[in-house]
Amino acid sequence: MRRETIYDEVYDAQENFRLLLDSMARPGKINVLPDMDILPPTGINKSSTLIALSLLNADASFISIATNNQEITTYLALNTGATVASINTADYIFLNGDQAPALIDGAKHGNLSYPEESSTLIIDVNKISISPILNAVQLILKGPGIETETVVYIDGINPHLLQAIKELNLEFPLGIDLMLTDKQNNLICIPRSNRFVYSTFN
């Protein structure tokens, strides 16, 4: 298992975070994370790894429920020092976009006094684009951070997963926040405040 040494804890973390912050503040806005020379195990996008490196440490917890979760877990724990948690307690949940929504059953979604005590999903997909992709999901995002509406296309996301999250986030301020990355290091975020609709684009 590789211990990453190239990642600069001070400057890389700051740059990655600013892109995350920008994407979270402007849902659907595509930011491109740098293509760093890191070597995560198969089954996790490089960009999802960068999110982990920039946000996680001993004070945060995570779980990977991706297909290759054992290797991913060992890798992330080694490189971030974060604690491995169960689905019910994890602050960050790493998964693949094509996975079934049942896997995130029980993920933290906060309480009314402290709604931020909730999980953030980091979802690996194949491709995120502003131009239409055949057979992909079309997302129309509306809400804080968006002037009118933003449209993005996502290849490799299970519509049932989106449906489950949408329903969960109806209970705003309770909810779950999403970060999606693709194979080309593209990133979008969808905070719980967003009221998105989705459809399959043919």
Partner 1 sequence: MVENKKYVNKYNFAFIDEATKKEIRRKLLKAVAIPGYQVPYSSPEMPISRGWGTGGLHVTLAIIGKADVFKIIDQGSDASVNACNLREFVHMMTNCKTTFDTREATLIQTRHRVTEEELNENQIYIYQVPQPEPLRGVERYENKTRQMHGEADYAKMWVSLYEQIVRHGDIMLGAGYPVKVNDRYIMAPSPIPKWDCPNINQSKALHLFGAGREKRLYAVPPYTKVEPLEFEDIKFHPEDFTTRTCFKTGYNKAYLDELYFDDGTRHFVINDSNFLDKMVNNEPIKQHSNKYLSELKNGAE
Identity of the residue, 111 or 163, whose beta carbon is nearer to partner 1 in the bound complex: 111
Residues of this chain, 109-148, that bind partner 1 according to CB under 8 A:
111-116, 118, 120, 143-147
Considering only 7-15, 40-48, 68-76, 98-106, which stretch makes contact with partner 1 by CB under 8 A? 7-15
Considering only 61-69, 158-166, 167-175, 180-188, which stretch makes contact with partner 1 by CB under 8 A? 167-175
**Taking CB under 8 A as the rule, does residue 149 contact partner 1?**
no
**Taking CB under 8 A as the rule, does residue 40 contact partner 1?**
no
> What is the dihedral angle through the alpha carbons of 27, 28, 29, 31, rounded to the nearest 10 degrees?
100
Query: Structure tokens of 2?
Result: 């590789």
For partner 1, the binding residue among 1, 25, 100, 102 (CB under 8 A) is: 25
Query: Structure tokens of 87?
Result: 């689905």
Q: Do residues 145 and 169 lie in contact, with contact meaning Cβ atoms separated by under 8 Å?
A: no
Cβ of 179: how many Cβ atoms within 10 Å?
22
For partner 1, the binding residue among 6, 37, 42, 59 (CB under 8 A) is: 59
- Ordered DSSP codes for 121-135: EEEE-SEEESS--TT
Identity of the residue, 17 or 153, whose beta carbon is nearer to partner 1 in the bound complex: 17
Residue 171's contacts (CB-CB under 8 Å, 6 or more residues apart) are: 109
Considering only 42-50, 63-71, 154-162, 190-198, which stretch makes contact with partner 1 by CB under 8 A? 190-198
**Taking CB under 8 A as the rule, does residue 61 contact partner 1?**
no
Identity of the residue, 28 or 43, whose beta carbon is nearer to partner 1 in the bound complex: 28
**Cross-strand bridge partners of residue 199:** 138
**Taking CB under 8 A as the rule, does residue 15 contact partner 1?**
yes
Kindly report the three-state secondary structure assignment for every residue of 145-172: CCCCCEEEEEECCCHHHHHHHHHHHHHC
DSSP state, residue 41: P
Residue 36's contacts (CB-CB under 8 Å, 6 or more residues apart) are: 6, 7, 12, 46, 50
Considering only 68-76, 122-130, 131-139, 187-195, which stretch makes contact with partner 1 by CB under 8 A? 187-195
Identity of the residue, 38 or 60, whose beta carbon is nearer to partner 1 in the bound complex: 60
- What are the residues binding partner 1 (CB under 8 A)? 9-11, 13-15, 17-18, 20-22, 24-26, 54-60, 91, 111-116, 118, 120, 143-147, 172-173, 175, 177, 191-193
